[in-house]
Structure 1
Amino acid sequence: MTRTYKISGMTCNNCKASVLSALLAIPNVGDVSINLEKAEATLKLKTPIGVSELQNALPEKYRISEVGVDHNLTSENEINKSQQTELKQLFPLFLIFGYITITAVLLNNNPWNTEAFMLDFMGLFYIVFSFFKLLDLKGFSQSFKMYDPLAKVMPLYRHTYPFIEVALGLAFLFRFQIEKALILTLLILGITTIGVTRVLRKKTKIQCACLGTALKLPMTKATFIENSIMIVMAIVMLLKLYL
């Protein structure tokens, strides 16, 4: 199937080459033809690909949209359909969060231990979320740099981030260097949350990298909430250590 898209931000042949390279790197894109004068790209697709996935693959300065789509004439039915689709896309995130919570509760239910619950929750959170990121390191790196301020300027950081999560997960589960793990949690999730907040305020539609590329999750308030929960837990645990 062939689809044509408008791409804003292309001003020269170097831009054209950059966009061409980025689009050709997407799985299931067979061929790409770019018209610099019309600011259009024609893609031959092996399977349907959403505009958000195409946008995630492009450098930040470019914006892609379907030709012929008037975004100002979205009907109420289309809005409702979009909201339902978003909830459906977020279902895996809610499911995973539920499993992590239930597991942490069961581990500390008899007798109940709030501090141990939070440590186990954070440990399981990091281990499970890092697993999905490690399934496609390259894809995660490309998505992560779209919104994380530090990942944008430090390639090494975005490539090693899943391994940092593994280390933090093991530290919490095995109760090793808890204080340092809590401080690092505040640091990295604080930076990420700043980036997420910027995206949400601009209402930019991009893919969330929290579960890598295996599950196509949109960037929503749910991402902000999950980071906030971890940050609050880290703050509470640090206060307990120091007070």
Structure 2
Amino acid sequence: MKHTYIITGMTCGGCVASVTEKISKVSGVQNVEVNLEKSEAQITMREHIGLDIFKSALPDKYSITDKKSEEAASKALNSNLLKKEKESEPTKLQQLKPLLLIFLYLFSAAFLLNYKDWSIYEAMLDFMGLFYIVFSFFKLLDLKGFPDSFRMYDPLAKAIPAYGRVYPFLELILGLLFLMRLQVTLALIATIVILGITTVGVTKTLLDKKSIRCACLGTALKLPMTEATFIENAIMLVMAITMLFQTV
């Protein structure tokens, strides 16, 4: 029978010769083939010989282990590591926590700004303005990295790379227009066009089940592309369309 063992501690041809000699002298060993590069030894024996016997035959500078046992231990270790990694991975809700908190703050701010003299139209204008200001802020934190992430799913950014570079500034301008109540109709139309294009890309990404990062908050926060991104855009689109009909 032939077994393969892992032998560590060998550094040269002399080590190979020494290991070969020591193992060959073990009673029951018929042949020994030592490979220095692989740190392996194939031992042919008449009947199974215990690992302890080979260990006692070799000098202390060498260690010998059964290759199958080594591979099994390695697989078990890798399996445990993968299991721990999966357990430590944040859930989708945990990953989306920053986005959900931002929306909660935006809704709260829009309500507090208008609760004394309540007007849903004015509240929506404030919400959309704050939305653009906050989201543009996160994108402006990494102007170099954002375009690469954005064109992963936005059709226009894919076709025109420069669009991804100016997009954060477009959001900033739209936010100011809504908050200052300037050119509201134009800002609403721009919102419908810009977010409409992005939503098409988001929808396609979700349908294709691609696992990519959402660039809605730039690259500072590692948000996954999920249904939440679609809902976020859909809320803004519904608001913009509703308000546009009221304005016209």
Structure 1 residue aligned with 2:94:
88
* AA of the residue aligned to 1:90: L
Q: Give runs of ≥4 in structure 1 deviating > 2 Å.
A: 77-82
Show the 5 A alignment for 1:110-121.
110-121=116-127
Structure 2 residue aligned with 1:3:
none
Cα distance in structure 2, aligned partners of 1:91 and 1:193: 21
Show the 5 A alignment for 1:97-112.
97-112=103-118
Structure 2 residue aligned with 1:225:
231
Give the deviation of 1:241 after TM superposition.
Answer: 1.2
Match of 1:198 among 197, 204, 226: 204
Structure 2 residue aligned with 1:179:
185
Structure 2 length as normaliser, TM-score? 0.65
Show the 5 A alignment for 1:1-243.
85-242=91-248
Cα distance in structure 1, aligned partners of 2:103 and 2:152: 24
Give the deviation of 1:85 after TM superposition.
Answer: 2.0
Residues 239, 132 of structure 1: alpha-carbon distance in 2 compared, 3 angstrom cutoff: same
Cα distance in structure 1, aligned partners of 2:225 and 2:87: 18
Give the deviation of 1:81 after TM superposition.
Answer: 7.4
Give the deviation of 1:148 after TM superposition.
Answer: 0.1
Deviations 1:84-120 (A, max 9, x none): 5221111000001110110000000012110000000
Structure 1 length as normaliser, TM-score? 0.66
Deviations 1:52-75 (A, max 9, x none): xxxxxxxxxxxxxxxx9xxxxxxx
Deviations 1:144-164 (A, max 9, x none): 000000000111111000000
Unaligned runs of 5+ in 2: 1-74, 76-83
Cα distance in structure 2, aligned partners of 1:81 and 1:225: 27
Count of equivalent residues: 168
Cα distance in structure 2, aligned partners of 1:78 and 1:235: 44
* AA of the residue aligned to 1:133: K
Cα distance in structure 1, aligned partners of 2:231 and 2:172: 21
User: SS state of the match for residue 137, structure 1?
Assistant: coil
Residues 80, 202 of structure 1: alpha-carbon distance in 2 compared, 3 angstrom cutoff: farther
Cα distance in structure 2, aligned partners of 1:80 and 1:235: 43
Cα distance in structure 2, aligned partners of 1:81 and 1:192: 32
Structure 2 residue aligned with 1:44:
none
RMSD of aligned C-alpha atoms?
2.1
User: SS state of the match for residue 165, structure 1?
Assistant: helix
User: SS state of the match for residue 210, structure 1?
Assistant: coil
Give the deviation of 1:212 after TM superposition.
Answer: 0.3
